Amino acid sequence: MNQPEKNTAKDIQQEKTGIEEEAAQQREMPQQPRGDAAGGIIKQEAEGGKREKRKKSGKEKDTVREIASWVFTICMAVIAALLIRSFIFIIVQVDGSSMMNTLHNENRLFVWRAGYTFGGQPQRGDIVICELEINGAPKVCVKRAIGLPGEKIEIISGTVYINGEALEEDYVAPERFKKEDNMQQITLGEDEYFVMGDNRSNSADSRYVGPVKRGKIMGKALIKVWPFDEIGSIE
């Protein structure tokens, strides 16, 4: 009766030893993620990839928006510049000596266009920027408005007569006066102006190329802006 009990104890010991060895082997083996854990990792990686794509796409959209904003800004600036030049003001450089002594060659002038653009009309004595046909080609010139629409203009021995009355011109320097200047009387049309340079001895103007149409007068010179030591209003 004692032998079976010994065998039983021995068997128990062997079984216990086997269990411990099996447990040790399991501890040494790398743990494999369970199915649900592995699925979670894959899902997280997929979501991470989507986030990266969205982030990259967002950056690309921001770049496109920034470029579009710059293009829009530049276009608006160009349009504004064109509108200002067409309707508000321009800077014009004097070319030649026809307006001496009032203006000199290469003077730069601030020309107000809005005054004539929005209903205003040139007045006698205004220094205007106009387009004249010089030697068969159009040229932008700086001249003084002398005769107005509908008036009769005549020049006798250098003196300008408007509707039969002599015009006082203190802006014409004595050395620029041209005594031998004569022109038969003409009558200006409803949209015509007679323009002349202050340097009567050296100016291509309405005496030689005829009156200028209202549509060819671009604006009134108001301020001399160059050179800096001559900055000031123009009379």
- Name the nearest CA neighbour of 163 among 143, 182, 188: 188
Instruction: Name the pTM for this structure.
Output: 0.65
More confident residue, 42 or 167: 167
Identify the weakest region by mean pLDDT among 63-67, 103-107, 166-170.
63-67
Residue 118 above 60 pLDDT?
A: yes
More confident residue, 11 or 192: 192
143 noted as active-site residue: yes
**62: Cβ contacts below 8 Å, ≥ 6 apart:** none
Tell me which of 10, 53, 57, 98 is the catalytic residue: 98
157 noted as active-site residue: no
78-111 burial, b if ≥16 CB within 10 A, otherwise e? eeeeeeeeeebbbebebebbbbbebbeeebbbbb
Domains and CATH numbers, the chain: 91-228 (2.10.109.10)
Distance CA 197, CA 146 (A): 10
> Token pair for residue 145?
């408005």
Tell me which of 55, 61, 143, 224 is the catalytic residue: 143
More confident residue, 62 or 33: 62
Model confidence over 134-187: pLDDT tens digits?
A: 888 999 999 999 999 999 999 999 999 999 999 999 999 988 888 889 999 999
Residue 4 above 50 pLDDT?
A: no
- Cα 99 to Cα 94, 137, 139, 181, 232: the distances in Å are 8, 20, 15, 17, 16
